[in-house]
Structure 1
Amino acid sequence: MHASTQQHIFQSRLYIERNLGEVLNGEIIAERAFLSYFHFQHQFKASTGESVWQYVKRLRMEKAAFLLLFTSSPVSDVAFGAGFETAAAFSKAFRAWHGQSPQQYRQQHLQHHSASQGLSYNWNAVKQVRLPAQKVVSFRAEGIQQFPQGYFKWQQLAGSLAEQNVALIGRSPDQPGITPYSKLRWDTAVPEACLPQGLKQELTQEQLLFEDSLPGGHYLVVPFTGFGRPLPAHLPAILAYLRKQGLEWRPSGYSFQVLRQHETDSRCSTDLFIPVL
């Protein structure tokens, strides 16, 4: 597959990810990849191993499972958030995918996600901050074994960034146990303003690089000892802390992590930024 086609397919995937709760039109998605719908379907499956609608359905089912486990939202709200027009249609699709009803899934699996195992937080250093919106440039790594590649990619493309002590921003919307290990997503970003002059233009040729933004707003900052992990690994401990403080997590917000020391072993430190109301 030509590199430009691969990049267009990737951009269409980002569009799907950002609009899961909306009615998606295959023709419009194909237009974003500059392909006819017929050729888009072929190229999409060649790139991802899934058809367009298999991809959409999987992401919706994973998002629904995430919301069932980590929020107290009614099933009807979870259904609409996952892009279903009715709770009945959602329940039928969810049962076909997970083998049980949404209510059964929530009850059975919640106990397995009730503790953050083996993670060390500095609760005495927790603080609340209000951040302005910020543009970033992100690199996507896929598959749990590839998570560190985002950091190494930035080293390769702009080795001077580490010397300038530029923060690396990590984010993953996926949870092992819900998303297959081979499909886990991890985005490593650098603030756009920190990119050396001319580098951004060079980066446009990279297949899994994309522009993104960190929304402004109210965040809880939780220091964590270790390398970044998918957000759901942290949520049980974070949610317990929020309840004690009378705060509420915004699951529709943008949670991210900032690596404060440029090492990929257990000695590195990470700040978790959790959007709160």
Structure 2
Amino acid sequence: MSKSAVITKQQLEHLALQGMSYADDHVGDTFSIKDVSDRLGISYSYFYHNFADYMGEPFWHYVKRHRLELSAGLLRHSGHSIGIISDLCGYATTAAFSKAFKQHFKESPKEFRRIAELPNEKRTIQIIETITASAGTDIFGNFFRYDRGERVQLPDSVLYYTLLSRGQNPIGEMIAKMNQYYNAISKILGQIEIATAKIITGTLDSVPVTDYEKISIYAGLSIPLHAAAAHQHMETNYGYLMRKRIPGGTYLRLPVPMDFATAGIPMYNFINQNCKEGNFKMSGNHFFMVLNGTTACEIYIPLLRKHY
């Protein structure tokens, strides 16, 4: 992209979000800001300043915060050792990870793992209690049960997505925009004709570690990695969408006969409770919800192998 080119505000936002998407998809990898700017076809300086202007924080500050928040989620809900978590989140050594983690969270990874309830978690639970009080706790008790879950195998996939929220009220934005994006993604799904492709929604962040106001909620199309023709179609026709690799493996599938907005909040409570009780541990932060129309969805939770 030449310096003389006229760039619209929408294009600037797109470049910043593509940078954020790259950082999220390479959490465990070594890369530089120049790697990202080269990938986007713009100068280092241009990307650096544009990202900070749009996102409200420098790119490398976002990368570090995002990695540490995801690591905190793994400490919370996975059975991984601290050494494995440091590697998954892009740290060369456990010592470097532990030092950065303590600087950010004021607790060591080991101490953090023992915290019964996080400050952000209190806000999440308050939202859950409000929703369950209005919908009826018996409804959620009937559907959000561990014994209703089924273990299924999913292939490695690529998610093509857009963000529904990037602001102060992510849940409100998600509810306002989801139907529009669901219809648009459904049309794409009809074009590729892949039976195992799924319309999914989730968050790039670690709930409840990430501040509510900074959570990024996505909606997109998950396509198995082996479906080469479908990926070529997406590259050719929808290159503007962001991308995220989703690891395959064993997932706990929990169908819930309710809309995404109703199911989304108590989903965390279900995950948190079952992790605490030892019914399962997660292999990563990449749980998501499959949308089956407007009144039914399925929750998919990645399971750690030794807890199958």
TM-score, with length taken from structure 1:
0.75
Cα distance in 1 for partners of 2:216, 2:209 equals 12
Aligned residues of 2:66 and 2:205 also touching (Cα < 8 A) = no
Letter matched to residue 222 of structure 1: L
Partner of 2:284: 251
Partner of 2:60: 53
TM-score, with length taken from structure 2:
0.69
Aligned residues of 1:147 and 1:186 also touching (Cα < 8 A) = yes
Partner of 2:150: 127
Aligned residues of 1:140 and 1:150 also touching (Cα < 8 A) = no
> Relative to structure 1, is the Cα distance of residues 101 and 222 closer, same or farther in structure 2, using a 3 angstrom cutoff?
same
Superposition deviation, residue 71 in structure 1: 2.1
**Structure 1, gaps ≥5 residues long:** 263-267
What's the Cα RMSD here?
Answer: 3.7
Partner of 1:178: 209
Aligned residues of 2:200 and 2:289 also touching (Cα < 8 A) = yes
1:68 aligns with 2:75: yes
Aligned residues of 1:41 and 1:51 also touching (Cα < 8 A) = yes
After TM superposition, list the pairs within 5 Å mapping 1:97-112 onto structure 2. 97-109=104-116
1:30 aligns with 2:37: yes
Superposition deviation, residue 69 in structure 1: 1.2
Identity of aligned residues (%): 22
Give per-residue Cα distances to partners, 1:17-46, cap 9 Å, x unaligned.
111222221111111222111111101111
Letter matched to residue 103 of structure 1: K
Partner of 2:271: 235
**Structure 2, gaps ≥5 residues long:** 1-6, 133-139, 190-196
Give per-residue Cα distances to partners, 1:131-186, cap 9 Å, x unaligned.
44555532212342322245133257478789xxx964112243444112221021
More helix by share: 2
Letter matched to residue 211 of structure 2: P
Partner of 1:265: none
Letter matched to residue 54 of structure 1: H
Superposition deviation, residue 249 in structure 1: 3.6
Superposition deviation, residue 92 in structure 1: 2.0
After TM superposition, list the pairs within 5 Å mapping 1:187-198 onto structure 2. 187-190=218-221
> Relative to structure 1, is the Cα distance of residues 59 and 236 closer, same or farther in structure 2, using a 3 angstrom cutoff?
same
1:223 aligns with 2:255: yes
SS of 1:179 mapped into structure 2: coil
Which residue of the other structure, out of 141, 151, 157, is the alignment partner of 2:178?
151
Partner of 1:83: 90
